[in-house]
Structure 1
């Protein structure tokens, strides 16, 4: 059995994966940013982060279309900077994609708990892992079709939410006390804007995950650019619509530290027992499911690619009879379930577990964005003859904007989240020790044997 993935995905399925990976970020997580920056402060943060993501995707697409392989940023950074560069990008991506799903799974539990108050959200989260790991194991084509369907439903539901709450919207509600900051800083407004960075990132986090399935795309040099560009434009529009209308229907402070801000915002307009509100809870699950399912798809391909190249145990690169990386899927699931049940024993910086996991995932994402943009600049010089069916527009300005904002965000996150930042560095150090001790494993990797 060859450890190579089949090419079965078209442009609409790739769009579904790109948007679906992210769309849960429109449903929860982002509102924690209101708690540290206020609505207007967080609006500034989101504008900055949206600029970074738009510039990043227009630049990142060049790399993905030129090197459509499972592993995405790991592949690009390895080609640009060798095995060490590949390790840095690979482990950063792995941290992002393994830590994001438990946060989403807990949000699924919170949404179900609204409908079934006696249901334990943690058990619902674990059940979600079991169901969607199984769906991913069955086959990528089935998984991608499912992802497309739930993503379309999730987008429609967000538009329905905007339409239903629009009569109760008032900009004065949105702007009231909108410049809140961190009270123990004299420059509280500015500090709040920077402290809210991880929650603005959550609006867009993981769109780059479509690169993980590039090896499974049909005609990737054409389909990937179309999927990525339409995907980021979809997400930017939805992010600002959701943020404005949720914050303008009442007291936004009551939505700033919960996992289900949209149902709670809708309650203000239509009441607790409205059919609209119950519909939002049920259909809102599609957004969470789309991202949860899509990120399982993404992390499994990252683990698979690292195992195939010898950066992780080669056993993780084995494929099932369905030609899916079942061991990689299960390995990421084990980490996620452990994270779900760790909140009773782990307290970090006074944050809720969801906020802490979101922040950890953002650390991984930003390091990966930095490595990807550095790889783009390096490969333009070191590999000028690399076939590039899509070229980053506005080069070098557009990728430079993405790089500079990513670096500023990365440094700011360390300043405001020193404990989580230290844990993140700890993961990198442990990973690097493993990297240094497994040179022979990489030399004898499945990837090397496939190329000879």
Structure 2
């Protein structure tokens, strides 16, 4: 008998995964939004995205508790729209979760390079991949416990950062040039606010990854809603706090377009030789590690679920006989991520850094998945009104409509400002569709395309 995933995760562990998946977004990535929108313009963008994510999570939780499946969005869209819908959501989610880790790994390398200048950031990034792929293979209980620990340490460190820079905070610093380099708002600031959308999404990207762990939860109908809601509230408060305190610490223009804005913001207040700065560099790694480690868990479950349903080669659906983890899927996603780290010539274009373009690619996958998931929610409400829904989206249809419209606005503006990256993203979807067609005979033999389509099926 083939080994299967273990149901071992509790509510606190799922909350740790929810926050840990995202918390690196508070440490880096978001400050690229300042380069185009300024501090005040980016704050408006971030508040819009926070509202969209809050509505999305309250709606997405209905799907996660109704269909607790390792494929997450893949399973929901397959149930609503059939095999092609499942492919689109699954491929988009896979792009999101496979491209997010290389950006985080590069940030880990940048943080370590502050302490060890001789250590190349890319070398450190590859080392991080090898270490945390191994940890994920050793068991989901070990991985989840580690995730909770580093997430708590990461939250503590963000609070320490705010406390240390608070004495140097000045509102004048934050608002100076806050509208795309101008001190006063004008219509000219609006394009920059739209262009900053991917970096505001980075504050919250991947929280939906809890859905991929739902199949390993002891009681997903009860624990997933608590984990999701507590997680999004935690992240909104941390994102606003970090953004405001970093921007008010000094000349915020020095923090845009870098991978380590928090240490550099603290340096503006306490100086380069302060012990606080060295502590932040070391403890700041916990936030990056939490997300990196958690997203490896997420992408591996997505690859595993797609392979189990024969949307990818079935060899990736293997589960380790001893550790009960999808070890082949973990390694496969890592190989792609490491290749992305060394793909400067392919991914560096449009005047953006490698990290910024990887972030944008990941966000394209996320937004596509959000749109398809919200459409699936509306479809299932209409097509399967009797389906068991342990958690129902509040204020339906308002909340899912807010999430859907917000995601569509994000998609349109991102395509406009990142046309080349969108073409690369679309090319990945086309290549994936070729794999989808090639594996059709396997699905037909195993009946995989019907498994999630019957009412009540999971």
TM-score if structure 2 supplies the norm length? Answer: 0.96
Helix, strand or coil at the partner of 1:193: helix
Check if 1:99 corresponds to 2:96: no
CA distance in 2, matches of 1:407, 1:448: 28
Residues 308 and 445, structure 1, Cα contact 8 Å, conserved in 2: no
- Residue number in structure 1 paired with 2:407: 406
Give 1:438 deviation, angstroms: 2.1
Residues 310 and 446, structure 1, Cα contact 8 Å, conserved in 2: no
Give 1:17 deviation, angstroms: 0.3
- Residue number in structure 2 paired with 1:420: 421
CA distance in 2, matches of 1:131, 1:371: 34
Residues 309 and 393 of structure 1: CA distance in aligned 2, closer, same or farther (over 3 Å): same
Residues 314 and 445, structure 1, Cα contact 8 Å, conserved in 2: no
- Residue number in structure 2 paired with 1:342: 343
Give 1:346 deviation, angstroms: 4.3
- Residue number in structure 2 paired with 1:380: 381
CA distance in 2, matches of 1:76, 1:247: 40
Single out whichever of 89-98 and 265-274 deviates more from structure 2.
265-274
Residues 347 and 358, structure 2, Cα contact 8 Å, conserved in 1: no
CA distance in 1, matches of 2:167, 2:142: 40
Residues 147 and 447 of structure 1: CA distance in aligned 2, closer, same or farther (over 3 Å): farther
For each residue in 1:401-425, what CA deviation from the matched residue of structure 2 results, as whole angstroms up to 9, or x when unmatched?
Answer: 0000000000100000000011111
Single out whichever of 273-282 and 195-204 deviates more from structure 2.
273-282
CA distance in 1, matches of 2:261, 2:299: 27
CA distance in 2, matches of 1:399, 1:447: 29
Check if 1:323 corresponds to 2:302: no
Give 1:298 deviation, angstroms: 0.1
Residues 347 and 357, structure 2, Cα contact 8 Å, conserved in 1: no
Single out whichever of 132-141 and 436-445 deviates more from structure 2.
436-445
Give 1:446 deviation, angstroms: 8.5
Residues 3 and 317, structure 1, Cα contact 8 Å, conserved in 2: no
Cα RMSD for the two superposed structures: 1.6
Which structure 2 residues correspond to residues 425-440 of structure 1 after superposition, within 5 A? Answer: 425-440=426-441
Residues 36 and 180, structure 1, Cα contact 8 Å, conserved in 2: yes
Residues 151 and 290, structure 1, Cα contact 8 Å, conserved in 2: yes
CA distance in 2, matches of 1:446, 1:291: 35
For each residue in 1:216-272, what CA deviation from the matched residue of structure 2 results, as whole angstroms up to 9, or x when unmatched?
Answer: 001100000000000000000000000000000100000001000000000111111
Residues 112 and 121, structure 1, Cα contact 8 Å, conserved in 2: yes
Give 1:436 deviation, angstroms: 2.1
Residues 69 and 214, structure 1, Cα contact 8 Å, conserved in 2: yes
Give 1:433 deviation, angstroms: 2.0
Helix, strand or coil at the partner of 2:344: coil
- Residue number in structure 2 paired with 1:121: 121
CA distance in 1, matches of 2:25, 2:446: 36
Check if 1:246 corresponds to 2:246: yes
Which structure 2 residues correspond to residues 183-262 of structure 1 after superposition, within 5 A? Answer: 187-262=187-262
CA distance in 2, matches of 1:440, 1:275: 61
Residues 203 and 449 of structure 1: CA distance in aligned 2, closer, same or farther (over 3 Å): closer
Give 1:107 deviation, angstroms: 0.2
- Residue number in structure 1 paired with 2:299: 299
Residues 71 and 301, structure 1, Cα contact 8 Å, conserved in 2: yes
- Residue number in structure 1 paired with 2:161: 161
Residues 37 and 180, structure 1, Cα contact 8 Å, conserved in 2: yes
- Residue number in structure 2 paired with 1:268: 268
- Residue number in structure 1 paired with 2:395: 394
Give 1:441 deviation, angstroms: 1.4
Helix, strand or coil at the partner of 2:257: coil
The ranges of structure 1 where at least 4 consecutive aligned residues each deviate by more than 2 angstroms after the TM superposition are 1-4, 344-347, 444-452
For each residue in 1:75-117, what CA deviation from the matched residue of structure 2 results, as whole angstroms up to 9, or x when unmatched?
Answer: 0000000001000000000000000000000000000000111
CA distance in 2, matches of 1:344, 1:181: 30
Single out whichever of 2-11 and 353-362 deviates more from structure 2.
2-11
Unaligned runs of 5+ in 2: none
Give 1:192 deviation, angstroms: 0.3
Unaligned runs of 5+ in 1: none
Check if 1:280 corresponds to 2:265: no
TM-score if structure 1 supplies the norm length? Answer: 0.97
CA distance in 1, matches of 2:286, 2:278: 13
For each residue in 1:155-197, what CA deviation from the matched residue of structure 2 results, as whole angstroms up to 9, or x when unmatched?
Answer: 0100010011001001110000000179xxx953110000000
Residues 158 and 399 of structure 1: CA distance in aligned 2, closer, same or farther (over 3 Å): same
CA distance in 2, matches of 1:381, 1:257: 45
Residues 88 and 316 of structure 1: CA distance in aligned 2, closer, same or farther (over 3 Å): same
CA distance in 1, matches of 2:352, 2:215: 38
Residues 181 and 85 of structure 1: CA distance in aligned 2, closer, same or farther (over 3 Å): farther
Give 1:350 deviation, angstroms: 1.4
CA distance in 1, matches of 2:77, 2:426: 19
